[in-house]
């Protein structure tokens, strides 16, 4: 009888030990699973940031080419050459637009905003002092971030 009680007690201890080990393994597996999910989320965010930075760098490298097309079109005397260059420029602008590039609008008379505009000088004009008098260089945003501010001249008081 006593031997049976001892055997039952040993079996109960074995069961408790096995259950304890099982719970430890289960908790460890749950922690590992949570860590892996967190890692995947962090890696996804890192990849998105890297893609955005790479895209911004490529667009920043292409913008001078777009500017050169504009200068070439303005200086071209031959109408056919001008039309061809305009078509290529429009295609390039469309590709950039599909990838999130937008022009920053800056018309004469608009309020100067240092977040979007870079003042490069002053100019007498009929517009209120401190507003935009002339757009000198086109500015762009890429997915809402400023890639290049619009270069403008600011209206100053007329000396009449």
Q: Where are the alpha helices (DSSP H) in 76-158?
A: 79-98
List the chain pLDDT tens, one digit each, 160 residues. 666 666 667 777 788 888 999 999 999 999 999 999 999 999 999 999 999 999 999 999 999 999 998 888 989 888 888 899 999 999 999 999 999 999 999 999 899 999 999 999 998 888 888 899 999 999 999 999 999 999 999 998 766 5
Same domain for 2 and 81, yes or no, is yes
- Rounded to whole angstroms, the Cα distance separating 136 from 106 reads 10
Does one domain contain both 92 and 121?
Answer: no
Under DSSP, the state recorded for 111 is B
For residue 131, what is the DSSP state? B
Together in a domain, 15 and 71 = yes
Same domain flag for 8 and 72:
yes
Domain shared by 34 and 80, yes or no: yes
Specify whether 15 is located in the same domain as 82: yes
Q: How many domains does the chain have?
A: 2
Same domain, 95 and 105: no
What pLDDT does residue 154 have?
Answer: 94
Residue 60 shares a structural domain with residue 9 = yes
Give me the pLDDT at residue 156, please: 84
**Could you tell me the residue range of the domain that residue 31 belongs to?**
1-99
Distance CA 110, CA 146 (A): 18
Residues 93 and 16 in one domain: yes
The phi, psi pair for 32, rounded to 5°, reads -65, -40
pLDDT at residue number 66:
92
Question: Could you tell me if 80 and 18 lie in one domain?
Answer: yes
Whether residues 85 and 106 share a domain: the answer is no
CA dihedral 137, 142, 85, 76 (to 10 degrees): 10
In this prediction, residue 81 carries a pLDDT of 87
């Amino acid at each position: 009888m006593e031997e049976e009680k001892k055997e039952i007690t040993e079996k109960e201890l074995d069961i408790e030990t096995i259950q304890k080990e099982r719970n430890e393994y289960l908790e460890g597996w749950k922690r590992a699973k949570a860590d892996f999910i967190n890692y995947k989320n962090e890696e996804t965010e890192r990849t998105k940031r890297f893609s955005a930075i790479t895209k911004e760098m490529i667009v920043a490298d292409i913008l001078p080419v777009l500017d050169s097309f504009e200068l070439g079109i303005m200086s071209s005397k031959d109408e056919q050459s001008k039309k061809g260059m305009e078509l290529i420029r429009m295609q390039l602008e469309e590709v950039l637009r599909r990838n999130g590039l937008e022009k920053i609008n800056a018309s004469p008379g608009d309020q100067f905003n240092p977040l979007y505009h870079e003042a490069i000088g002053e100019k007498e004009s009929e517009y209120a002092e401190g507003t935009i008098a002339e757009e000198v260089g086109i500015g762009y945003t890429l997915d809402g971030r400023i890639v290049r501010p619009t270069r403008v001249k600011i209206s100053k008081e007329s000396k009449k």
